């Protein structure tokens, strides 16, 4: 369906007087244009169809102060809540992932890697995965 056909369909839905369809369509179009034009001059706190924030708008503000930046994002749960137990090394993997993606922790990460400079690169990566979380706890 073309955009113009969709637009005409929307106007036809707004027809109130079936005896004078053309006049009714013109009236609906003018009402829509006037409301759109005047909505640009409302105060900032008035929410209109044109100024409505997006569904997943993060607003760009920090929610809490004195919190690590990775935990300071707004969000909503998806779907129904379910319980799940963390198995095996998943907690260690999740903890390492969070620490590695947190900019406040990067100086500690670089310090840990510098302390392992005697090891080969692949061994350093394995040690970061297994020991960085415990090393960071005691820093």
Half-sphere exposure of 129 (CA within 13 A, CB side): 9
pLDDT of residue 57: 63
What is the rounded distance in angstroms from the CA atom of residue 132 to the CA atom of residue 112? 7
pTM of the model: 0.51
28 and 14 Cβ atoms separated by less than 8 Å: yes
pLDDT of residue 34: 92
What is the rounded distance in angstroms from the CA atom of residue 68 to the CA atom of residue 113? 22
CA 52 to each of CA 40, 47, 78, 88, 139: distance values in angstroms, whole numbers, following the listed order:
12, 6, 22, 45, 46
pLDDT, tens digit only, all 139 positions of the chain: 788 898 888 888 888 888 888 888 888 889 888 988 888 888 888 878 777 776 666 565 656 677 777 777 777 677 888 898 988 889 888 988 988 888 888 999 999 888 988 888 888 888 888 888 889 888 8
pLDDT of residue 62: 58
């Amino acid at each position: 369906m073309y955009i113009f056909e969709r637009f005409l369909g929307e106007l036809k839905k707004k027809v109130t007087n079936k005896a004078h369809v053309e006049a009714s369509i013109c009236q609906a179009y003018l009402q829509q244009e006037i409301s759109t034009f005047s909505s640009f001059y409302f105060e900032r706190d008035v929410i209109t169809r044109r100024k409505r924030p997006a569904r997943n708008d993060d607003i760009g503000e920090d929610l809490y102060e004195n919190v690590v930046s990775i935990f300071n994002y707004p969000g909503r749960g998806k779907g129904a809540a379910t319980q799940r137990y963390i198995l095996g090394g998943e907690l260690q993997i999740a903890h390492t992932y969070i620490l590695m993606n947190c900019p406040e922790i990067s100086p500690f990460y670089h310090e840990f890697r510098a302390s392992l400079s005697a090891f080969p690169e692949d061994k350093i990566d394995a040690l970061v995965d297994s020991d960085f979380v415990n090393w960071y706890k005691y820093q």
